[in-house]
Amino acid sequence: MSAKRVLVTGGAGFIGSAVVRHLLADSEAEVLNLDALTYAANLLSLQDIADDPRYQFRRADICDAEAMQAAFADFRPDCVLHLAAESHVDRSLTGPQAFVQTNVVGTAVLLDAARNYWEQLPESEQQSFRFLHVSTDEVFGSLGDEGAFTPTTPYDPSSPYSASKAGSDHLVRAWGRSFGLPTLITNCSNNYGPRQFPEKLIPLMILNGLEGIELPVYGKGDNVRDWLYVDDHARAIWQVACGGKVGETYLVGGGAERDNLTVVKTLCALLDELAPSADIGPREGLIRFVTDRPGHDFRYAIDASATTESLGWTPQESFESGLRQTVQWYLDHQEWVEAVRTGSYRNWMEKNYAWR
């Protein structure tokens, strides 16, 4: 199955923009990017493909039922890749309601719009329709030193972010089991790569390191994450959408477990090599151990063997080369960085997209 009309929610975000790029480069699908353009969105990330005849953008909030019905009626997708979400754990600790609103309520609204649209389709089109929810391994909670998440690991979320994503996973499964909507879920590990908003660990450390300001490491820096290069993830999402079994859950991981202090020190070494600064000196000197995040999950690790066995997907980027490319991307895209930091891109978007 290879969908021809793909509705991507959250396509102006970090992973969504990589998915849109992947679809335009490696499939023949027409793509509708539906995004509310929150603080995390950046249309500069899509500037070079914005005029592709197979691409269109629609500004809309997934919580807006009318706007969702209209998007389905106008675009008539045969596949939905749902990525729109509030995505940052630290923000969910200071303002959890936005996470419940977008991730839980918004997903339910989107599911209803998808269901209403899907029920009107002829049977053959109903069968080939797919709704794929992009979720996180954080729904499974924290691991100790050993073991890895599998598709049957029980849910045990710790933060408002992961609880809201767990809620949205349950809703997606319920719409599948109760109403027959052909749904799939992917749960992936921590993504990194170009165009990630600099509130997440890796881009925050790169930009702080470049500026010569503190590198805040939570607790002792011994928490472990399994790092997945964003383009490997985009490829996995599309493979699951095209070849995955309806109702199944697919785990996607980078096979690159590192503790946070190791990640930060590796970034320091890369910055010292690629952007040496006599004023700043060795970046490791900027590391500061700060108060730990409340409810901080100790370790995440993914066992992606079931995904590899059923779909043949494996990550291709090694953590070392992926991290080097990522640092180089931020060095080469100061305009993107400046725009994100000053908010000028948001003013630009307001001006350019006010009519939509």
Radius of gyration of the chain (CA): 20
C-alpha to C-alpha distances, 237 to 44, 68, 90, 310, nearest whole angstrom:
23, 22, 26, 14
- Note whether 143 binds ligand NAD by CB under 6 A: no
How far is residue 46's CA from residue 298's CA, in Å, rounded to a whole number?
35
- Residue 230 binds to ligand TYD (criterion: CB under 6 A): no
Select the residue interacting with ligand NAD from 30, 68, 99, 136 (CB under 6 A): 136
Which among ligand NAD, ligand TYD, none contacts residue 38 (Cβ within 5 to 8 A by kind)? ligand NAD
303 CB neighbour count, 10 Å cutoff: 17
Could you confirm whether 138 is annotated as catalytic? yes
| Interface residue with ligand TYD, options 183, 187, 190, 191 (CB under 6 A) | 190
- Asked whether position 188 contacts ligand NAD by CB under 6 A, the answer is yes
Interface pick for ligand NAD out of 3, 6, 13, 266 (rule CB under 6 A): 13
Strands (E), 164-230: 183-188, 191-192, 215-218, 224-226, 228-229
CB of 83 to ligand TYD, least distance (A): 15
For ligand TYD, what does the binding mask look like between residues 30 and 69, x meaning CB under 6 A?
----------------------------------------
C-beta closer to ligand TYD: residue 37 or 139:
139
Question: 119 catalytic, yes or no?
Answer: no
Asked if 137 is an active-site residue, the reply is: yes
Q: What are residue 171's phi and psi, to 5 degrees?
A: -65, -45
Q: Which residues contact 45 (CB under 8 A, 6 or more apart)?
A: 12, 14, 17, 195, 336
Rounded Cα distance between 47 and 36, Å, is 17
In angstroms, the CA 119 to CA 321 distance is 46
Contacting positions for ligand NAD (CB under 6 A): 9-10, 12-16, 35-38, 40-41, 61-63, 83-87, 102, 106, 134, 136, 165, 188, 190-191, 197
Binding region for ligand TYD (CB under 6 A): 89, 190, 200-201, 204, 216-218, 223, 225, 260, 293
